[in-house]
Amino acid sequence: MLDAIGAGQAPRIGDRDWGDRWRSSPEFANIQEDIVRMKSQRMQEVGSNFKTDEKEYATPLWHQIKIVNWRTHLSFWRSPNYGFTRLFNHVAIALLTGLAYLQLDDSRSSLQYRVFVIFQATVLPALILAQVEPKYDLSRLIFYRESAAKAYKQFPFALSMVLAEIPYSILCAVGFFLPLYYIPGFQSASSRAGYQFFMILITELFSVTLGQMVAALTPSSFISMLLNPFLIIVFALFCGVTIPKSQIPGFWRAWLYQLDPFTRLIGGMVVTELHDRPVRCTPAEFNTFTSPPGQNCGEYMSSFFQNGGAGYLAQNATDMCQYCAYKVGDQFYEPLSFSFDNRWRDLGIFAAFIGSNLLLLFIGSRYLNFNRR
């Protein structure tokens, strides 16, 4: 081809350059006329139409939510290792805890054991945070790539991550609740068991949204995992069980105790389990003492019980007194400043923490962009 037009090694064929021949040909003139005609026709078509709004995204928000949500659910379904590992951890810990406290009786020591079992629910956030944060971080990398092409907004991405976790949260809550609750022999009444399951389910959702919120506010999962121990320790330390409310320093008791989600979790579950539960001390749990001369045990302890003293006497008519520190479970948790009347209030406040997590999650995903490209 180069030789034919005279640009190669061979001499040019003819006395004129092929480019000059083309520019002076009638075909070139026809092409120019066609271009001018198409340009004028297009300008007339554009001028006759109303001006359309120029939008940043080609599809509306609701369409983005539907498509991204379906795709995220499909992605979770195609990642069975993520869901199975999470479910296995829940069931394994619940089984170990339930078998360690197998069929508790009504003794005084069993009151403390029941609180220990309930306190195991605070392990869930530590497990879930370690799994949710890397999952969110990896999905966010894909979102950064697709958001650069204006495929969808930040809100559909964050919302789809929350919705995709809900089925797995319900399944894990069931797998954790059944062994943890029924193997130790907790109260089986529907009003008690139903409330406890709701608390476990809210704990699941709270932990998921907390992990996603922390991941949204940090540049990578490595940074977010550094915050997890601090959060879990603070939550467990100021919930009113490890340190009773009355013994927490006033500065922390005034605000951190009230803002601690575990305060609502532990308080609601403890009072639901121990309320009106009778206590029967074993022989080793009785406090034995002798009443003063001329008085039996009932006469000697009457003023104590009349003034609201807890516990009961095994025998009132003798001078060898056997005293049990608790008569019902309410007397065990009242020094912890828990109240059965506040259990639904605590559930509502605990659920409200999910809303605060979602608010911070959506704000972080909207205004914090850690994409380095």
Phi, psi (deg, nearest 5) at residue 320 = -95, 100
| pLDDT confidence of residue 57 | 79
What are the structure tokens assigned to 255, written together?
């605000």
Task: Return the residue matching tokens 């964050």.
Answer: 158
| pLDDT confidence of residue 13 | 64
| pLDDT confidence of residue 3 | 65
The SS3 of residue 22 is helix
| pLDDT confidence of residue 193 | 95
In order of 292, 318, 322, the CA distances from 296 in angstroms are: 8, 5, 12
149: pLDDT confidence band, cut at 50, 70 and 90? confident
Of 343, 65, 315, 330, the C-alpha closest to 198 is 343
What are the structure tokens assigned to 143, written together?
């979102």
Task: Return the residue matching tokens 């389990």.
Answer: 273
Whether the pLDDT of residue 2 is over 80: the answer is: no
Tally: H helices and E strands in the chain? 15, 3
Q: Annotate 228-259 with b (16+ C-beta within 10 A) or e (fewer).
A: beebbeebbbbbbbebebeebeeeebeebbee
| pLDDT confidence of residue 49 | 62
| pLDDT confidence of residue 24 | 85
For residue 232, the surrounding DSSP H or E stretch is helix 221-237
| pLDDT confidence of residue 147 | 85
Q: Could you give the percent of the chain with pLDDT greater than 70?
A: 92
For residue 287, the surrounding DSSP H or E stretch is strand 287-290
For residue 343, the surrounding DSSP H or E stretch is helix 343-367
- List pLDDT tens digits, range 155-210: 999 999 999 999 999 999 999 999 999 999 999 999 999 999 999 999 999 999 99
| pLDDT confidence of residue 373 | 58
356: pLDDT confidence band, cut at 50, 70 and 90? very high
- List pLDDT tens digits, range 12-71: 666 677 777 788 888 999 999 999 999 888 888 766 665 556 677 788 899 999 999 999
Task: Return the residue matching tokens 């340190």.
Answer: 243
